[in-house]
Chain A
Amino acid sequence: MNKHKARFPHLPDLRGTVPLALIFFVWALKGHEASGPLFQDASIGAVFDTGLDLVKSGALWENYRASLLRVVLGFAIGGSIGTAIGLLLGVSFWMDRLFGPLLTALRQIPIFGLVPLLGLWFGMGESAKLALVALAAFFPMALNTYESVRNLPTAYREVAALYRFKLLYRLRFVLVPYALPGVLTGLKLALSFAWISVIGAELFLSAAPGLGNLLEAGREQFRIDMIVLGILLVGGTGWAMNAAVTALERHLLRWRPAFS
């Protein structure tokens, strides 16, 4: 797949960790001084201690779990509806003509611009937060599914017609595998958007346990260490979700030349 893999077949590719290590190095060296370039007053040790305290008191897990739960639920709702709608519009000419323009218009609206409206409909509590996350996951899922399904080449349609594939077989062995790469790209985007909007929802809507809440508390109390801890957790979780989907992609798309 690349030169690194060819040269060192048994070593994991750790090149991506170099910039990260550099930042940590600068941070450890000078970043926490009062006039330092990165995080004033927050040394690596201080952030670590804060993290330990919050773990001990159970506050960290409470906030983290609340955010994870929101992203899982919101993504499950928005992602599944998005996939279904994308599939429907992709295979049906009539549905595309009827609802395509509406979908295109709706996706132009920035998601956080909908916060007041969602507040009006769902209140400022948990359901509004879930609705925002679901919406964030909905669009990338729907659009990517729609595009991939619609682009099924005539060549494959003809083979399916020639061998008289039945509807279910056509879906399972032609349409789904063909659309899968695009759908998985949508999944990556949707998960990432959902995670971003979880933190946004927690900051914009009423206070409740969550990583957004942790960040907000840090801001109110001028606790840079808490903010840095929150940022590390949000970023790390986003990276982990992306890595999980990439692994899934590698497995599901192993028939593709680039992945084998």
Chain B
Amino acid sequence: MAVSKIVQLPTANRARETHEPPSIAVARRHHATELVVRNVSKSFNIDRRPLPVLQDISLVAQPGQFITIVGASGCGKSTLLRLIAGLDRDFEGEILFGGRPVSGPSLDRGLVFQDHRLFPWLTIEQNIASAFSSRPIDTATKRLLVKDHIALVGLNGFEKAYPHQVSGGMAQRAAIARALVNEPDILLLDEPLGAVDALTRLYLQEELQRIWLQKGVTMIMVTHDIEEAVFLGDQVIVLQPRPGRISKVIDVGLTQPRDREDSRILKLKKEILGEFHNPAPINYSI
């Protein structure tokens, strides 16, 4: 009975409930969830002088696609995600989601920050539940959704724990559950694994891949880890810094899940690394 209730939700995760393979789940998602970023530029005012951080960025994320953006620190990766999330509306160019310009945050676009940003005074469970405080859903459904997503990120048994009582990796998983609990069409990840240790990182990469396959949600992940970018992305976008601009777009063209030791993965890693050793000429005039 409870399960049927979930299925009736317009944004509910049908892929998991009916055990459809992810490809079908992707096709079922409404076509109007395509993200288009067109000629986006952004500058900050530092000491009353404009400092360009993003220059002429264009990209398209098809529904269900996993895009990774890789670049050194200072290339404006986080800024780009904040623009897509709608947290910053001061930019030139166009960002369209489902054909409509992005004018502010929306529950259709989830964002996971590098620091987990859970509220320390709420338990893991309450933190996840806070994400749908503004939606009119009945309590029973809310409880089920929270339970589902705690299971999805493997945090069973830690529902009542406070964020300081769990490890950094677990807190980040709770943050991912919070971002997913509204069943957004697109999930933006801002170096979500940047603050966890190397071993946890490898594990969470695979977890992230599993969640992506299970949910069929579009993901755009920003990282400075080339292997991570190639291992997870359908498409890898390489950004060069100061100002942040796209220097290369690579379609990986391998099915997921992947083997880290696959020779094609290693070759792509080398190719991207070369991109950083021989960067395009930098405009020093700014």
Contact = CB atoms under 8 A, between A and B. Distances in A.
B133 A165 contact: yes
Given A155-B115, A255-B121, A161 B105 contact: yes
A155 B117 CA distance: 7
Interface string B171-183: 0000000000010
A163 interface: yes
A173 B133 contact: yes
Interface residues of B, number: 23
Interface in A202-260: 255-257, 260
A163 B107 contact: yes
Interface string B112-135: 010101011110000000111110
A30 to B, nearest CB: 51
Contact of A255 (B105, B111, B115, B120): B120
Please classify the interface of chain A as helix (H, G, I), strand (E, B), loop, or mixed, using the class held by over half of its residues.
helix
A161 B89 CA distance: 13
Given A156-B119, A173-B122, A177-B119, A164 B164 contact: no
A162 B130 CA distance: 11
Contacts of A156: 117, 119
A13 interface: no
Interface residues of A, number: 20
A157 to B, nearest CB: 10
Contacts of A24: none
Given A162-B87, A162-B105, A257-B164, A177 B133 contact: no
B121 A165 contact: no
A163 B134 CA distance: 7
Nearest to A169: B133
B162 interface: yes
Interface string A150-185: 000001101101111110010001100110100000
B119 A173 contact: yes
Interface string B133-147: 110000000000000
Nearest to B181: A163
A255 B162 CA distance: 6
Contact of A166 (B104, B115, B134): B134
A184 to B, nearest CB: 13
A156 to B, nearest CB: 7
A93 to B, nearest CB: 19
B229 interface: no
Contacts of B164: 255-257
A155 B78 CA distance: 14
B239 interface: no
A166 B164 CA distance: 26
A159 B179 CA distance: 10
Contacts of B162: 255, 260
A206 B156 CA distance: 66
Interface in A113-142: none
Contacts of A165: 130, 133-134
A161 B87 contact: yes
A96 B104 CA distance: 27
Contacts of A257: 164
B85 interface: yes
Interface string B155-190: 000000010110000000000000000100000000
A156 B182 CA distance: 19
Nearest to B87: A158
Given A159-B119, A174-B119, 14 more contacts: A155-B115, A158-B113, A161-B104, A163-B130, A164-B106, A164-B134, A169-B130, A169-B133, A173-B133, A177-B121, A178-B121, A255-B121, A256-B120, A260-B162
14 contacts: A155-B117, A159-B117, A159-B119, A163-B107, A163-B131, A164-B134, A166-B133, A169-B133, A169-B134, A177-B119, A178-B121, A180-B121, A256-B120, A256-B164
Interface of B: 85, 87, 104-107, 111, 113, 115, 117, 119-122, 130-134, 162, 164-165, 182
Q: What 4 pairs between A and B have smallest CB-CB spacing? A: A177-B121, A255-B121, A164-B134, A257-B164
